[in-house]
Structures are given as C-alpha cells and as structure tokens.
Amino acid sequence: MARAISDTIGLRICALTCGLVILTAMLMGVTILGMRAYAMAQESAALPQTTLAELSYLEANDLGDSPRAYHLQRQHLADTAYFNVKFAVIIALAVCLPVGLGASIGVARYVGSPLAAIAQAARRISRADLSVRAELGHSGGLTPVLKDFNAMADSLESLERDRKLTAAAISHELRTPLAVLTASLHALADGIIPAGPDVYRRMVAQTTHLNRLIDDLHTLSIADAGKLDLNHAVTDLGDLASDVLLQFDQRLANAGVVGSVTRSGGATRVWADSGRMRQVLGNLIENVVRYAAEGGKLDIHVERSAHQVHLTIRDFGAGLPSSMQNHLFERFYRPDMSRARTTGGSGLGLAIVKALVEAQGGTVQVSSARGAGCVFVIAMPALAEA
C-alpha cells in the first residue's frame, strides 16, 4: 500500500514537471513564430512599391515560390532577417521565463507545503505533543501522505493514552491485594489478630489474585509483542466446548447456572491451539459466573458455515447497554466495579479473549441489551471437511 502511494505521488509530480516543460516550450515556440511573422509583415509593408507590385503579381499567378519571388524577398529582407529572429527569441524568453518561473514556484509549493506541514508536526510529536496533526487544507498532491501521517499520529496518541491508563490501572490493581497483605502481616506481627487458618486463607486469596493478575498481564504483553507461543493442531470446537463446560460444571451448579452445548452445520474443526482456546472459553464462562449468574442459564452453540466455525456463548443475565458493551474488551474495564472486586476479577479476562482469538486468525464480537443477556460470537477459519 505504501509503495503504491509513493509511486502515485512520484508519477503525479513527474507528470506536472513534464507538463510544465512542454507548455513552456510550446509557449516559447508560439511566441517566436508570432513575433517573426509580425516582424516580417512590418518589413514587407516597408518594401518599395515596385517590388510590392511585382510580388503581388507573382502571388496572383501562383508564382509566390518561384526563384524570382525568392530573389526579391532575399534582396530586401536578408539584412534584417537575422535581427528579426534574434528579436523574436528575446521576446519569447521575456515572456516564457516569468511564466516558467511562476509555474516552477507553484510546483515547488504544491510539493513543499505539505512536506513542511509534516515536518512541523513531526517536530512537535518528537517533543511528546501527540495532539498535533498535519494540516490538510493545502495538501496538494500529497493528501494520501498527510492522511497516513495523521493516522500514525492518532495511533501514537491512542497507544500513549492506553499506556498511561494501563499503568494507572496496574498500580491500582496491585495496590489493593498488597495493602490487604501488608495490613494482615502487621496485625499478625503486632498481635492484634491471632494467627489462624482463616487469616492465612485470606492472605492466600490475595496472593492468588496477584499471581493471576501477573499471569494475565504477561499473556497480554507477549500477545501485543507478537511472541505468543501457539501450538496449532486440528481442534474440534464442539468437543472442546463440551469438555470445558464439564470442567466448570461444579462452579456453574454452585452459581445456579445450567449450561448446555449444541452443534449444527457439520464438522466444527479448526486449526488452533486447543490450550489457548480452552483459556478463551474458560474466561467467557468465568465471566458468566461473575456477572450473569442470575440468568440461570448458559447456552453454547457451535455452528459451521461455508468457511468459518462460529462459537456462540449466550447468557441470560441482566445484559448491558451499548455504551458499556463497546468497552468490554478494554483492559481493566468492569461493568460492575463493586461485584468484580468481591469476586476477584482483574478486568483482563475479555481483553485476553480478544488477544488470543485474533492471534489465531479469528474474530470475537459481543452484543447485548438490557434484560436480554450478552452474546459473544467467536469466528474461526474452518478446516476443509474430509
């Protein structure tokens, strides 16, 4: 894409330059011919009357190209012919040089103005002013370059904003369990609370939360870096969904949720990392246990279409408004902060789902409405049926 844009811009500038040269040469030629014709007409009018009469007679008898006509013209015009040509060239240069110079300045501004805007914006970005954008008002033939530069600036600003938000969220997430652990250890050391299984269990729960948070952050960081270790193999998403649901059977029962798996459309095999796909499905079921258990039901449907296998996870909880569901895959985002705190969620589960699915060539989408639960749809490239 970048090569195509570069070639287009180069061809456009080359065409402008060639057109400028051709137009200047044509203008110069027309000016020379016009001035020479004018000078010749003036000189012809100044010929003696006898010569004019003879030339008129020769022209009337189709003898304008005869040796006699040529002799008469050469006899009277030879002395001024060289001067006429030189005069015409000088006039042509006087006309064409300003025109060519003005056109050259126009081409230079056509190319230089957007490049200057990019350079100015780049200097401000290098000083960490990521809000600056190159002006598109006078972009000339470099509009695609300016748009790509501004898109890059948008991405940099978004990445910087996400980095700051992530750093703040990480510090906040780490502070809570560490504060609980610190307070418990101080209380034990000062004898304020007696040592016992309940205290140790609370401390273990906090360290478990810290370990989970660190593992989730590590998974996201290596996914962002493109270094995610994936062991692809033929994986049947229908079988995998049934197996994962069985592993969550007790937790779902404790939450009062009944889960089921259905299939349609033929073979549901994909080329994927089964371990990572188990993690994806596990995070989504965990999400149902935490946020949508009151719906009492979890439906997982695996369906094959022409070229994809769709894994649909639907709960029947309270659902979310569109203003919230648009942020569900953002890191550290929780629809219900208080409930997430009590159940130990880090706000990274759905971000990991998105990262793992996309790393394996799939897509994940969510739809929801108040009172209608949430529907997550994972689409993976299907393997050819045997």
Q: What is the pLDDT of residue 341?
A: 46
Tens-digit pLDDT profile for residues 303-342: 998 889 999 999 988 888 777 777 788 777 766 544 444 4
As given in the structure block, the two tokens for residue 276 are 């990572």
Question: CA–CA separation, 4 vs 16, rounded Å?
Answer: 18
Question: CA–CA separation, 350 vs 320, rounded Å?
Answer: 15
User: Which amino acid does the sequence have at 159?
Assistant: L
Q: What is the pLDDT of residue 337?
A: 46
Question: CA–CA separation, 181 vs 265, rounded Å?
Answer: 52
Question: CA–CA separation, 281 vs 267, rounded Å?
Answer: 19
Angstrom CA distances, 183 to 180, 199, 273, 341, stand at 5, 11, 42, 18
Question: CA–CA separation, 280 vs 357, rounded Å?
Answer: 8
Measured in degrees and rounded to the nearest 5, phi and psi for residue 2 equal: -65, -40
Average pLDDT over residues 202-229: 83
Among 7-11, 49-53, 376-380, the range scoring the smallest mean pLDDT is 7-11
Token match 């902060």: residue?
Answer: 337
Q: How confident is the model at residue 13 (pLDDT cuts 50, 70, 90)?
A: low
Question: Which of the two residues, 89 and 317, has the higher pLDDT score?
Answer: 317
Mean pLDDT in the chain? 77
Q: Is the dihedral of CA 288, 291, 293, 298 positive or negative?
A: negative
Tens-digit pLDDT profile for residues 223-260: 877 888 888 999 999 999 999 999 898 889 988 999 99
